[in-house]
Chain A
Amino acid sequence: MIGTARLLAGISLAFACAATTTANAQLAVHKDLTLPIALTMAQTAAQMCTAQGYKVSVHVVGRNAEVLVAMRGDDANPHTMENSMRKAITSRMQGRPSGDFVTALKDNPTAGALHLANQIPAQGALPIKVGNEVIGAIGVSGSPGGDKDEACAKAGIDKVADQLK
């Protein structure tokens, strides 16, 4: 009787392990941004800022911080392309608004992230999420204030919110 129980326990353990192994062997399934969604986001953000008289550039980056859309507004200042890209990459890498990095540096001005390529403490970019998973980021530069850049970035995300699932 005890022997049978042990045998059964052993068998179920074996099955459990087999199940675990199978799960690990499965490929990871990712949801990623498409160009049409990224382009809609960028155009919405650009138009939102343009309507307020701000000449901005916009970047949308994907899961690996790869650039999907780089968009320079008419008459936007030259540095805004680099800045919107770096804000977006910062937001993607840190999984939070690039403005939060600014705040965090006040307590820790020697944060290591400052020395990584393309990271920048400047408000104006937001992570793009599916649930809690960060699949990219959108960054804006050129408004008179990072809060205004961020508002345009948010308009871009809001526009496609129902597709981010």
Chain B
Amino acid sequence: MFQTAYRLAGLSLASALACMAAGSANAQLLTHKDISLGIATTMATTAIETCKGQGYNVSVHVLDRDGQVILGLRNELAGAATMENSMKKAYTARTFRRPSGEFANSVKGNPLAGALMLTNIVAAQGALPIKVGDDVIGAIGVSGAPGGDKDEACAKAGLDKVAADLK
């Protein structure tokens, strides 16, 4: 009888503790790693210079976790549309958590895909997600090279430059 009582008491104590623990865990704030302006600047200038080294005048955008612009840079000789396009490519890579070129391939067979109707989404190669492990914390997009693959190569150069800091 006592034993049962103790057991029940023990159980409820354990449950109470478990609930408290769960409560505490839920009440904790979310801890994020985010891109600093310093890292974004290194990424973007590296991408611009890599493309310039190949004779391509491009614009570059680095977006944060929320898809907001941290840095937008326009090479003075880049085409007028490249600023908008690099931002939209980066937004697409950020929100779909994959290279914008992969998204472009995925909608090739479905030109009326709903995602294409969303604001700032563009089916064009040239942007890559920025990751810490599997966590996508932003994206870098490039526009202006003669081909999305060349834009993407410059974006990758920017990512590679700061790879050691993305942890």
- A contact set with B: CB distance below 8 Å: 32-35, 38-39, 43, 46, 62, 66-74, 78, 81
Contacts and interface: CB of A to CB of B under 8 A. Distances in A.
Contacts of B165: none
Interface of B: 36-37, 41, 45, 48, 68-76, 80, 83
Contact of A81 (B36, B68, B73, B76): B68
Contact of B71 (A38, A66, A70): A70
Contact of B45 (A39, A72, A73, A81): A39
B37 A73 contact: yes
A74 B74 CA distance: 21
Contacts of A35: 48, 73-76
A68 B37 contact: no
15 contacts: A33-B76, A34-B76, A46-B37, A62-B76, A66-B80, A66-B83, A67-B72, A68-B74, A70-B71, A70-B72, A71-B41, A72-B70, A73-B37, A74-B36, A74-B37
Nearest to B39: A74
B44 to A, nearest CB: 9
A33 B77 CA distance: 10
